């Protein structure tokens, strides 16, 4: 079945199309043509300049078309897309709009814009749970990514998050990861391996990929020394 699927349809400026010669024509609540970026991870900034160009052009197209016909979960999805693009500022802004304009006081996602500020022409109040799930996922994507088999710590952090930390987020391969960021720099990473195996990590200290062969139940801690290199 995979062999029968066509190549991704990409415009001359790099943006993803809905189908061959058919761009997204207008603002729409679904970004299904961008599934190759998130959640499928078929296109990733780590693939090089062409992939970065496609991701940036695709997100720019969403900006150009605007959010008139988006619902709350559209902003949550944008948060995930921006995080995969390593754009922490855009991710934060999208998730902030989701939480302030498209959720009720009880935190339920209500689809329509409840702020009265015109973020969307939808103003109704049906409760749909996927918006809340997607928003939570967006935050996790800002803190930790591993969809390419490599663990990346704080891949999409806005400049305002100078201090941040998370505990036991799950990465692919049954690795539970914790990390701490202080004054804009990662100072600690802890990895617990539940089943054993090789953990491939992009070091937040050197930027280089390292491989850690771990046993089941083993815990490894990496800390930054005063020169900001791992020990």
Per-residue pLDDT, averaged over 79-84, amounts to 98
Is the pLDDT at 228 greater than 70? The verdict is no
pTM: 0.93
Tens of pLDDT, residues 210-224: 999 999 999 999 998
pLDDT averaged over the chain? Answer: 95
The verdict on whether omega for the bond into residue 206 sits within 30 degrees of 0, i.e. cis, is no
Give the pLDDT band of residue 177 (cuts 50, 70, 90): very high
Q: What DSSP state is assigned to residue 106?
A: T
Domain ranges of the chain: 1-143, 146-231
**CATH (one of 2.60.40.1180, 1.10.630.10, 1.10.357.20, 3.40.50.720) for 146-231:** 2.60.40.1180
Give the pLDDT band of residue 227 (cuts 50, 70, 90): low
What pLDDT is stored for residue 62 in this prediction? 97
Q: Which residues contact 76 (CB under 8 A, 6 or more apart)?
A: 94, 95, 98, 109, 131, 132, 134, 135, 137, 138
Laid out side by side, the sheet with 209-214 consists of: 144-145, 151-153, 197-202, 209-214
Per-residue pLDDT, averaged over 80-96, amounts to 98
Is the pLDDT at 229 greater than 70? The verdict is no
Q: Are 71 and 111 in contact (CB under 8 A)?
A: yes
**Distance in angstroms (rounded) separating the CA atoms of residues 64 and 80:** 19
């Amino acid at each position: 079945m995979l062999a029968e699927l066509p190549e991704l349809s990409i415009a001359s400026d790099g943006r993803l199309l809905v189908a061959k010669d058919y761009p997204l024509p207008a603002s729409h609540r679904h970004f299904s043509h961008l599934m190759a970026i998130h959640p499928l991870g078929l296109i990733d900034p780590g693939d090089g300049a062409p992939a970065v160009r496609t991701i940036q052009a695709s997100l720019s197209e969403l900006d150009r078309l605007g959010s008139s016909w988006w619902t709350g979960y559209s902003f949550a999805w944008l948060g995930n897309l921006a995080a995969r693009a390593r754009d922490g500022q855009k991710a934060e802004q999208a998730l902030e709009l989701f939480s302030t304009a498209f959720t009720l006081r009880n935190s339920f996602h209500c689809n329509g814009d409840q702020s009265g500020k015109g973020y969307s022409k939808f103003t109704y109040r049906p409760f749909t749970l996927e918006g809340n799930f997607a928003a939570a996922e967006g935050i996790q994507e800002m803190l930790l990514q591993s969809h390419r088999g490599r663990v990346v710590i704080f891949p999409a952090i806005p400049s305002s998050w100078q201090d941040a930390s998370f505990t036991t987020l799950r990465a692919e391969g049954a690795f539970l990861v914790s990390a701490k960021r202080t004054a804009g720099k990662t100072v600690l990473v802890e990895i617990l391996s539940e089943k054993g195996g090789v953990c491939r990590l992009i070091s937040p200290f050197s930027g280089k990929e390292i491989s850690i062969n771990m046993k089941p139940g083993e815990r490894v801690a990496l800390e930054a020394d005063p020169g900001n290199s791992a020990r």
